[in-house]
């Protein structure tokens, strides 16, 4: 019997609020997972990540297998001890790098031959090896199947071949994972923007049987409307009693629209990447602290926030830090952004429970359009 359970506690239309229960703690859904690619959420202490409201973080198989090495992480106590994060961790399988590092890899039925982007050394990642790294070496609470993130645009034939390969890899990953009480495994729906391929992919994964289901292959250039159309074609074919995870999508407008279509979990580098480039996310939309108009602005980013970075520092000071290239600027803005995204998720959960999700959805769409 798995120690993982997903309880849907309220719905508002297709939007769901609930709890994904894991041995290392509950994940309140809808949930946003800060990205800790290399065992760190960039520019933040894990205590800050937790205090901001994060229940779960994400790590990346490809990057950790290259540096410091998955076997080394295992010898040092696993990823939780190594990174000093005691909550749940979901690990990306490396499938996104199959897409993003296309010039450094060779794909076959067996798996993926990578050349390291660090030193050019050769590595092989099979479905079985991806499971071994995530579940046994890193010690992830949630393992993702190895998949191929289909390039966009794609012909239907190419998308079908890619989806078929991911589905065959899904079966191999599930078999390699076996039965585990304290760890879970998610399958990943592929099929580009073709509704029939998305349905076929979802149905094949459900037949295999996973603890949760992710929608992959989006936010790769297809555009906002095509992403929503693809979710409309996909989520009805995923089990209602399992968590649904939209991979790599994270603008506030993207999140609320995906929640409206029944998605429960998200991850994105946006909060910390924006912070490192001087951008802060707010209820009025994103603002660029590099702009001269903030040079004498004494107001904080959000006086009502529980986050010190949002509440205690004037925009003028943040502007100064960013323009001066001071590391503290990136740290404070990253902290603020992670806290902002977690506050958005908390508001979204509360609104679903109170039957007010439409209000949150409309407000976010007005403030943070997909063109931002």
Question: pLDDT tens, position by position, for the chain (372 residues)?
Answer: 468 999 999 999 999 999 999 999 999 999 999 999 899 999 999 999 999 999 999 999 989 999 999 999 999 999 999 999 999 999 999 877 766 776 778 899 999 988 888 898 998 999 999 999 999 999 999 999 999 999 899 999 999 999 999 999 999 999 999 999 999 999 999 999 999 999 999 999 999 999 999 999 999 999 999 999 999 999 999 999 999 999 999 999 999 999 999 999 999 999 999 999 999 999 999 999 999 999 999 999 999 999 999 999 999 999 999 999 999 999 999 999 999 999 999 999 999 999 999 999 999 988 865 433
Half-sphere exposure of 45 (CA within 13 A, CB side): 4
Contact call for residues 215 and 331 (beta carbons, < 8 A): no
Would you call 26 helix, strand, or coil by DSSP?
A: strand
**Alpha-carbon span 237 to 198, nearest angstrom:** 9
Active site residue 306: no
Identify the active-site residue in 55, 147, 211, 267: 267
Strand order in the sheet with 112-115: 105-107, 112-115, 122-125
DSSP state of 134: I
Q: What is the pLDDT of residue 370?
A: 41
**Alpha-carbon span 143 to 138, nearest angstrom:** 10
**Alpha-carbon span 342 to 365, nearest angstrom:** 17
**Alpha-carbon span 116 to 104, nearest angstrom:** 7
Residue 25, Cβ neighbours under 10 Å: how many?
13
Contact call for residues 41 and 276 (beta carbons, < 8 A): no
Active site residue 86: no
Element (H, E) at 60: strand 57-60
- C-alpha dihedral sign at 216, 163, 244, 237: positive
Least Cα distance to 364 among 286, 310, 285, 309 occurs for 285
Per DSSP bridges, beta strands 279-282 and 285-288 are antiparallel
Identify the active-site residue in 12, 92, 147, 264: 92
Q: Phi and psi (nearest 5°) for 119?
A: -135, 5
């Amino acid at each position: 019997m798995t120690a993982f359970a997903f309880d849907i506690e309220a719905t508002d239309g297709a939007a769901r609020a609930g709890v994904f229960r894991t041995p290392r703690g509950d994940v309140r859904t809808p949930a946003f997972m800060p990205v800790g690619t290399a065992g760190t959420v960039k520019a933040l202490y894990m205590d800050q990540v937790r205090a901001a409201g994060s229940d779960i973080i994400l790590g990346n198989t490809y990057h950790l297998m290259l540096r410091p090495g998955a076997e080394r992480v295992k010898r040092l106590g696993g990823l939780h001890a190594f990174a000093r994060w005691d909550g749940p961790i979901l690990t990306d399988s490396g499938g996104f790098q199959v897409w993003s590092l296309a010039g450094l890899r060779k794909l076959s039925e067996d798996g993926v031959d990578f050349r390291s982007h660090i030193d050019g050394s050769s590595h092989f990642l099979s479905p079985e090896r991806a499971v071994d790294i995530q579940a046994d070496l890193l010690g992830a609470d949630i393992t993702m199947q190895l998949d191929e993130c289909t390039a966009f645009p794609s012909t239907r034939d190419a998308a079908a071949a890619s989806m078929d390969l991911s589905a065959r890899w899904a079966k191999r990953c599930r078999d390699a994972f076996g039965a585990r009480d304290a760890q879970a495994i998610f399958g990943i729906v592929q099929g580009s923007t073709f509704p029939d391929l998305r349905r076929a992919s979802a149905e094949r994964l459900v037949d295999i049987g996973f603890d949760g289901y992710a929608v992959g292959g989006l936010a790769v250039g297809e555009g906002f409307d095509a992403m929503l159309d693809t979710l409309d074609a996909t989520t009805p074919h995923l089990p209602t009693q399992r968590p649904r995870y939209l991979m790599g999508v994270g603008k506030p407008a993207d999140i609320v629209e995906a929640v409206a279509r029944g998605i429960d979990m998200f991850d994105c580098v946006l909060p910390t990447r924006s912070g490192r480039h001087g951008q802060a996310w707010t209820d009025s939309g994103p603002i660029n602290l590099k702009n001269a108009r903030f040079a004498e602005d004494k107001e904080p980013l959000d006086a009502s926030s529980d986050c010190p970075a949002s509440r205690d520092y004037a925009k003028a000071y943040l502007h100064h830090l960013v323009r001066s290239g001071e590391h503290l600027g990136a740290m404070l803005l990253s902290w603020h952004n992670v806290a902002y995204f977690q506050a958005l998720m908390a508001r979204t959960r509360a609104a679903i429970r109170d039957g007010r999700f439409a209000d949150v959805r409309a407000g976010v769409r007005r403030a943070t359009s997909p063109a931002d």
